[in-house]
Chain A
């Protein structure tokens, strides 16, 4: 007979060991899958690493791909700490990009520093407002936020599609449905060979970390996440905390939209967010919602995407294989958390 018991405190080291084991098991399981395709899994994994970090150019590409993941994960982690399941990162990115683009296209001649700041502010506010709508209804009526935020993603996407095929269509693109490119003033400059979005990501990580660990607001988020009732007894205005936090969560995601529109796409398009809003849910969760770990996990995930694109060419393995690998890792880590919280002991009958 076996008995499951709750564990007491688990050290960071043991926590890390359990998660690492889970990731290794996920890679082993995926190896079986690769073998099914008649490929050598070790070769495939090694060339994924090579594809992600093999040359200076590839490292740069990997880092560029990690920036939107880091920023969005940071945003999502704020809401997740409160157990507000914000699945709306995708829509918040899109709306952030939309309003940043509006600013960029309206004032193309403005001084670059002012223009970029305005675009950042526009992205921040628009993403935040897009998050605030479901947050208001959650706080007021306990409306299910998972489906609400998700539906908002589709609405945001249709909105951009409408603009791209309709009112914002570039007349110079010879009928091709695209939105005009930004002026040079509206493009984030490079810093050490990579667009300066990495600096924004780092600064945001520090701010979010301090906000969560060192401020009263951050403490309130954690209390509401633990138990709304406790929070209420402690005199915390739960509704206000929910709305404020989800606004910030969406706002940070909105900044992702600004960065991607300005530095990567140099315009707005329906492909701008490319599923980052969903992948960031995984990275935020894998990182245990901790800001420093979010940076690490996001870079590893970006490497997986970048490496995935590389093996697509080298081994004719489709990109969706990376998606399968992602979900495998997530499954195993989700399962492994059992061993963080519980222990199994043998009992004699």
Chain B
């Protein structure tokens, strides 16, 4: 019982995990990209179109990565090169992604992911690890994209905390002008990381349309992109903590559905409020418990102009 719930929570949390990781990378470069929802929808629709025409899981994943990165490029160009307001640009990107996905998706309604692709993403047990009681079955009998999610989180962690470029990246997020003065190409760093972040958000969307649903549904993200932005704060910009946040919220996402089985007399619609209410609760808690290690990159949301130094 607990195992099946945990397994389902992990599945529901995987798109969140990718999106959180993407946003962490972007925010570490000082760029608060609120277009996560839009980039996820771009990834969802382009991967779905690709999977229908190529029947290839690999091509679909690549399409999602590219679509997310392309959306992030618009954001990067406007906020880095043109120095536009990050909040409004992110919102515009969300509207753009929503528009594009429902525009392309209007003819895809009701279509499903081909069987061979479904098989590629199907669960498989990892020997030995899946034999661990309770959690083994939940964590290690999953689809390839779930495993890849853990791996991505760990790679992000290693990159940020144990490599030189990761160190530079964090330095840029903390202090643009000092990093600039020390000779780092901060414009390039920002572009690359915003786009890598976008690619991961695109993958988050692909997970929803290819694995989670797996058919075309208008507005398939249903606000998960925004929850991911909030979970970045919960994760304290730490990729390892992102895993916990994603599973926790994956659990909240499915809890209403599970509770119905127990004949609990609460309206489904009220239970549906839970993820949003808990997100608010976490936001408040993290903002009250302000400490050095919890705080965002110092330059988050600011626009750098060298002559201002």
Contacts and interface: CB of A to CB of B under 8 A. Distances in A.
Main secondary structure of the interface of B (DSSP, over half): helix
A341 B270 contact: no
A334 B85 CA distance: 7
Nearest to A154: B276
Interface string B265-309: 001011011001101100110011010000000000000010100
A151 B230 contact: yes
Interface string B92-104: 1101101110110
Contacts of A40: none
Contact of B87 (A146, A152, A155, A162): A146
Given A141-B287, A147-B226, A338-B83, A330 B95 contact: yes
A320 B91 contact: no
B59 interface: no
A165 B98 CA distance: 27
Interface string A313-349: 0000010111110111011001101100110000000
B92 A334 contact: yes
A85 B89 CA distance: 12
Nearest to B77: A335
Contacts of B195: none
Contacts of B82: 334-335, 337-338
Interface in A1-18: 4-6
B74 interface: yes
Interface string B121-133: 0000000000000
Given A87-B91, A162-B270, A327-B96, A334 B84 contact: yes
Contacts of B88: 281, 285, 330, 334
Interface string A266-301: 000000000000100110010000000000000000
B106 interface: yes
Given A338-B82, A338-B84, A6 B307 contact: yes
Most A CB atoms within 10 A — which of B92, B273, B283, B288? B92
Contacts of A324: 96, 99-100, 103
A193 B149 CA distance: 58
B276 A151 contact: yes
B102 A152 contact: no
A326 B102 CA distance: 14
The 9 closest A-B pairs by CB, nearest first: A323-B99, A327-B96, A162-B269, A143-B287, A324-B99, A334-B84, A330-B92, A320-B102, A320-B103
24 contacts: A4-B305, A6-B305, A87-B91, A141-B287, A141-B288, A143-B287, A144-B287, A146-B229, A147-B230, A148-B283, A155-B277, A158-B273, A158-B276, A282-B92, A320-B100, A323-B99, A324-B100, A327-B95, A330-B92, A331-B78, A331-B92, A334-B84, A337-B84, A341-B83
Interface of B: 34, 74, 77-78, 82-85, 87-89, 91-93, 95-96, 98-100, 102-103, 106, 223, 226-227, 229-230, 233, 267, 269-270, 272-273, 276-277, 279-280, 283-284, 287-288, 290, 305, 307
